Structure 1
């Protein structure tokens, strides 16, 4: 099972993906789905069904409340830019 936000009919929809099928959920994106404390109960397979091959993927969570960044390659980037490493 996977979740995605896809573009459908001029808007976006959260979908539940299983196998080669995507089932529309009653949410505009995965972020609004996950904001519901009982989101797992909302994962039904009763919405419109689309082939995974035909999906136009959109931003998973369009307006995240937090953005967490990890500077894993920070040292390498400094070297690439020809700068000195901080001490």
Structure 2
């Protein structure tokens, strides 16, 4: 694989199952596959500004905040700003 490839990752955990480590575990598996199986160099993620739980998942997984994306995704009928994160896989 080309070692200079990057990818975006998105995730969602049903409210009934939050706080159980499911998102963190899934992110760990995704990052391992991105590095070991796909040979990726970088993974990017975006989350709503007010989504503290998602920001915790990304922080625990070693992502760093890299900026803001205004009107990034349309959610519940309106365009929402998102905070962008990246993780360089070494």
> Which TM bucket (shorter chain)?
under 0.3
- The higher-RCO structure (CA 8 Å, 6+ apart) is 2
Flag the structure with higher strand content: 2
Give the alignment's TM-score, normalised by structure 2. 0.22
Flag the structure with higher helix content: 2
